[in-house]
Structure 1
Amino acid sequence: MSSDLVRLARSWLAQDPDPETRAELTALLDGGDADALRERFGAKLEFGTAGLRGELGAGPNRMNRVTVMRAAAGLARVLGPGRHVVIGYDARHKSDVFAHDTAAVLTGAGLRASVLPRPLPTPVLAFAVRHLGADAGVTVTASHNPPRDNGYKVYWNDGSQIVPPVDSEISAAIDAVGQVSGLPLGSPDDPAWATLGDDVVAAYLEAVTALPLGGARGLRVAYTPLHGVGGATLAGAFRAAGFEVPATVEAQAAPDPDFPTVAFPNPEEPGAMDLALELARSVGADIVLANDPDADRCAVGVPLPEGGYRMLTGDEVGALLGEHVIRQTSGDGRLVATTIVSSSLLGKIASGHGVRYAETLTGFKWIMKAGDGLVFGYEEALGYSVGADSGLPVHDKDGIGAALTVAGLAAQAKLDGRNLLDLLDDQARRYGLHATSQLSVRVDDLSLITGAMARLRATPPVKLGGREVESADDLSEGSAGLPPTDGLRYRLSGGARVVVRPSGTEPKLKCYLEVVVPVTGEVSDARAQAVQDLDALKADLSAALGL
């Protein structure tokens, strides 16, 4: 075993305050497991605009107390003494420990820390930053990642996630941190360390129940928090808004960091919604709602005329919510925004209503920077921020506020003798049927993704799905005022579009496909045509990727 590897491991061991990771590392050293040590110490988790995210364990390439304390110390150096940071956390393994370590490091460095009272949805933290006038926020969560992961996300004083150059400044400050065993640490008894009460949750509920929900309330909802932290907050929001509290999947109602009933705790993954759909059938639900484990995303299912339920895509929900918000708000300066990988339909809706529209890079940190007057933003990965005339209560995606607004929209449709599918058909007739899909490839070796992107850049496709490629944008060079990002965008004949990019949080290559089919007869015919067109795109793109 390399002496350098042993030296790094022993140096880490000397500063690690966690008996679990100390035992893990000691066993690896005693057993001479060079491969396992190299995996933990041969690289490190990089701090970026998504913060940190990775598997729990010992070493710089894992999420652990040392990694978190270093991150907190870096944040403290960038902010400076006297600044105020709000800290939230979910119910994953070690989340509460990491949150309290963060508070200890920040208060030890002369900052003030306010910790949320218990595991709560990420949007509550994002709301609390602005509500309390804090300088920054931290939430400990890995969102919908597998059970062995955790993460660390930083918000700035505007209540939205950090963007460059702040991420680089924090990363450089983290690199300058020495042994964490030498950091001064505060304690919960310190006057600078506050544990918040339920008043901050009450303020959040008041804000989201003031969204444009409409007046109808007659709706039966089936819901799952997918073993996450959204259940109690969503129930409180529905109750405060005057809705019947949703029927909740009992086996998934309580927070559980092992997510025992699902392979992946992500409502987009196959099988994740099975229990919720089963509950919906048993109670005759008008809609199905789900949050991911930290409740910043919202999934929506609807009953089909022939029986059963269908999950709507993020783009379908985004189009419904976007037009609803536009209709329910007023003012000439309103702006709606989505990302370059989301459907182009929101732009047509905005144009039809005389409202400004913007496209951003992927991620809510960019949507929140779209411009003044933002009343609605969404991304196709089930993330939505719903606003009112007063603006956005949460400057990040908010699965609770979105669920409430969807419920209000569905209740009004039910009162009118209609449903969400009818509203989608209305949009298809007005703007053309915009159908989207994804081709997602998970890999064990990230070099496969690098190789696929290199092949596409070296030999761009000239035709996909029988459509001519009319233009190709290498987004790494920046495009249409957007900052550079690792991605490729192809505009095809007939209004179709393909975007290919590596995931920022998972070992995946993600391809986003869209076709636009004019509705000249039945909407169902246009939908059938769109399925064929998307299948053809997927087949050709798969061949071009070579994965």
Structure 2
Amino acid sequence: MDDNLRRRAEEWLAQDPDPETREELRAILAADDGDALTARFAAKLEFGTAGLRGELGAGPNRMNRVTVLRAAAGLAAVLGPGRRVVIGYDARYKSDVFARDTAALLSGAGIRADVLPRPLPTPVLAFAVRHLDADAGVMVTASHNPPRDNGYKVYWGDGRQIVPPIDKRISAAIDAVGRVDTLPRGDWNLLGEEIVDAYLAAVTPLALGDARDLRVAYTPLHGVGADTLERAFAAAGFPAPRTVPSQHAPDPAFPTVAFPNPEEPGAMDLALDLAHRIDADIVLANDPDADRCAVGVRTPDGHRMLTGDELGGLLAEHVLRHTSGPGRLVATTIVSSSLLSRIAAEHGVGCAQTLTGFKWITRAGGDDARLVYGYEEALGYSVGTDAGLPVRDKDGIGTALAVAALAADAKRAGRTLLDLLDDQARRYGLHATSQLSIRVADLSLIEAAMDRLRSAPPTRIGEHAVEAAEDLRTGSADLPPADVLRYRLAGGARVVVRPSGTEPKLKCYLEAVVPVTATVEEARARAAQSLKEMEHDLSARLAL
């Protein structure tokens, strides 16, 4: 075993307040397990624009109480005394402990620390930062990651996730933190249910229109969304959704799903089964921290899930029909469908493209922009009204209200969300998207695959000639630097390739655009074939 790693482990052990991780580390040292020690101490979780996220366990390369206390101390150093921070947490393992540790450490640094009353959705925390006029917010969550993960997301006083250079300042301050067992602690304040009531009052107007007749099947996927969503539906006047019983209560083990992510194969099986049994008009799902929303629709062959881009286009027109006046702006990311730009042009409003992540979407157009809607294809949506966005982050509860209102309005007219999708295809062309996502055990494989694409740029992808290739590593006129390759293809198609920011995956985002010259079904089949050929071509090129 490496003597330097052993020394670092013993120093860590001496300051660790958690008996579970102390026991874990003692067992590793006693067994002289060099591989386990290397995995925990040869690297560290890096604090970035997504904060921290990683597997629970001992050491700097894991999420644990020492890592969290160091993060809180770094945040405190950047903020300085006399500030106010709101702290929220989900129902994952250790989330409540990490939230309390953060609050105590901030309070010891002279910062007022307010903790949400119980495990709650991430959008409640994002809302609370602005509502309480706080200087920052912390949300302890790993969103839809596997059960053994947790994370630490930081918001600034504007209610948005942090971006550079704030993240770099916090990261540098974390690196300067010494032993955490010597840092002072203080008392913190537990907020009451009034903050949840205020959030619900803010998002209820997102149920645009007055149609309310709708039968909904719902799952929170063992997360924290159920109570808040059910209260939101009641406040907006919708019938109570029917929730999957075995997935209703928060459970950090996520026992009924392999991955607690509505996009993952099998995750929606129980909700789709419930929808079939009750003949639901739509299916709704939140991920474990309820900042994402997935939607399924009834078809002649059973219920199917909409893609993130399909829902993104539907909600865009819904919002633009219910808002008015000059200066409206909608925004999406460079990996999402180009359909939003066509919808925006049709409605005479501005459309912005950003890098992936709501930290960028909610900053589209600058602080004075009249942003009424933003979305990303990974089931993230922020819906607004003429007054703007009530939550400056993705919001799975507010989105669910907006979707329910849209579906109820269509039902009253004898139509469905599928009919609305067909309307859009005829008006704008069929915009079909898919994703090739490759999980790897070694992150160096992703770097090598990106290098291969850079050194030998493709001239064709599938049936489409490459008309333009763009490497965003050094940024562009309207985008900051990012490890992203973007290809514009003949016929309006496009491909974007990037490493995931939160998981060991390489992601390729594909889009085919097909005009509807005969039937929508025929155009859909042509688009599906085009996407299949593009995916096959990319898989061969990436060789992962």
Q: Partner of 1:186 in structure 2?
A: 186
Partner Cα distance (1:128, 1:525) in 2: 47
Letter in 2 for 1:327: R
- Which residues in structure 2 correspond to 1:136-175 (within 5 Å)? 136-175=136-175
Question: In structure 2, what is the equivalent of residue 377 of structure 1?
Answer: 374
Instruction: State the partner residue of 2:457.
Output: 460
1:416 aligned partner, one-letter code: A
User: What's the counterpart of residue 215 of structure 2?
Assistant: 220
Distance across 2 between alignment mates of 1:534 and 1:479: 27
Q: Distance in 2 between matches of 1:52 and 1:63?
A: 8
Indicate the SS of the match to 2:205.
Answer: coil
Partner secondary structure for residue 353 of structure 2: strand
Contact 1:375/1:387, CA 8 A, preserved across alignment: yes
- Number of residue pairs matched by the alignment: 541
Question: What is the SS of the residue equivalent to 2:206?
Answer: coil
* Structure 1 residue 186 displacement after superposition: 0.9
> C-alpha displacement at 1:120, in angstroms?
0.1
- What is the alpha-carbon distance in structure 1 between the residues aligned to residue 536 and residue 3 of structure 2? 49
Local SS of the residue matching 2:351 = strand
Q: Tell me, which stretches of 5 or more residues in structure 2 are unaligned?
A: none
Deviation of the 1:479 alpha carbon: 2.0
SS, match of residue 289 in structure 1: strand
Residues in 2 aligned to 1:121 and 1:334: alpha-carbon distance in whole angstroms:
28
Question: What amino acid is the match of 2:168?
Answer: S
SS of the equivalent of 2:399 reads helix
CA shift digits 1:441-494 (9 cap, x unpaired) = 000011110100000000000101111000100011212310000010000000
CA RMSD of aligned residues (A): 0.6
Q: Does 1:389 align with 2:386?
A: yes
**Which of 411, 419, 422 does residue 422 from structure 1 map onto?**
419
Aligned match of 2:516:
519
2:54 counterpart residue number: 54
Residues 63-74 of structure 1 aligned to structure 2 (within 5 Å): 63-74=63-74
Output the CA distance in 1 between the equivalents of 2:472 and 2:17. Answer: 43
Write the letter of the residue equivalent to 1:56.
L
Partner of 2:303: 309
Q: Which residue of 2 aligns with 1:12?
A: 12
After superposition, residues 355-504 of structure 1 pair within 5 angstroms as 355-371=349-365, 372-504=369-501
Q: Deviations over 1:240-293 (max 9, x none)?
A: 000011000000000000000000000000000000000000001000000000
- Distance between the aligned counterparts of 1:51 and 1:431, measured in 2? 38
* Alignment gaps of 5+ in structure 1: 188-192
Amino acid at match of 2:13: L
Map Cα deviations across residues 112-147 of structure 1 (whole Å, 9 max, x no partner). Answer: 000000000000000000000000000000000000
Q: What's the counterpart of residue 203 of structure 2?
A: 208
Return the letter of the residue paired with 1:55.
E
CA deviations over 1:404-437 (Å, ceiling 9, x no partner):
1000000010000000000000001111000000
Normalization by structure 1: what TM-score? 0.98
- Maintained 8 Å contact 1:87/1:114: yes
SS in structure 2 at match of 1:210: helix
Following superposition of structure 1 onto structure 2, how do residues 241-320 of structure 1 map, counting pairs within 5 Å? 241-305=236-300, 307-320=301-314
Task: For residue 194 of structure 1, report the CA deviation from its aligned partner.
Answer: 1.1
TM-score for both structures, normalised by structure 2:
0.99
- Give the conservation status (yes or no) of the 8 Å contact 1:437–1:534: yes
Tell me, yes or no, if the aligned pair for 1:212 and 1:325 is still in contact at 8 Å: no
On the 8 A contact 2:56/2:149 being kept in 1, the answer is yes
Match in the other structure for 1:128:
128
* Counterparts of 1:97 and 1:339, CA distance in 2: 34
CA distance, structure 1, for counterparts of residue 444 and residue 114 of structure 2: 41
- 1:212 is displaced (CA, Å) by 4.8
Q: CA deviation at 1:210?
A: 1.2
In the alignment, the residues of structure 2 paired with residue 21 and residue 320 of structure 1 have an alpha-carbon distance, to the nearest angstrom, of: 47
Check if 1:534 corresponds to 2:542. no
Q: Which string of whole-angstrom CA distances, capped at 9 and with x for unpartnered residues, describes residues 225-249 of structure 1?
A: 0000000000000000000110000
Query: How far apart are the structure 1 equivalents of 2:417 and 2:518?
Result: 20
On the 8 A contact 2:207/2:401 being kept in 1, the answer is no
What does residue 190 of structure 1 align with?
Answer: none
Distance in 1 between residues matched to 2:409 and 2:478, nearest whole Å: 39
Deviates more, 1:210-219 or 1:429-438: 210-219
Which amino acid is 1:494 matched to? G
**Identity in percent:** 75
2: CA distance between counterparts of 1:153 and 1:417? 43
Give, in whole Å, the separation in 2 of the partners of 1:463 and 1:546: 17
How many angstroms apart in 1 are the aligned matches of 2:317 and 2:411? 18
Q: Distance in 1 between matches of 2:409 and 2:251?
A: 35
**Alpha-carbon displacement from aligned partner over 1:58-101 (angstroms, at most 9, x marks no partner):** 00000000000000000000000010000000000000000000
For residues 197-228 of structure 1, give each alpha carbon's deviation from its aligned partner in whole angstroms, at most 9, with x where no partner exists.
00000010011101252110000000000000
Say whether the 8 Å CA contact 1:212–1:328 is kept in structure 2.
no
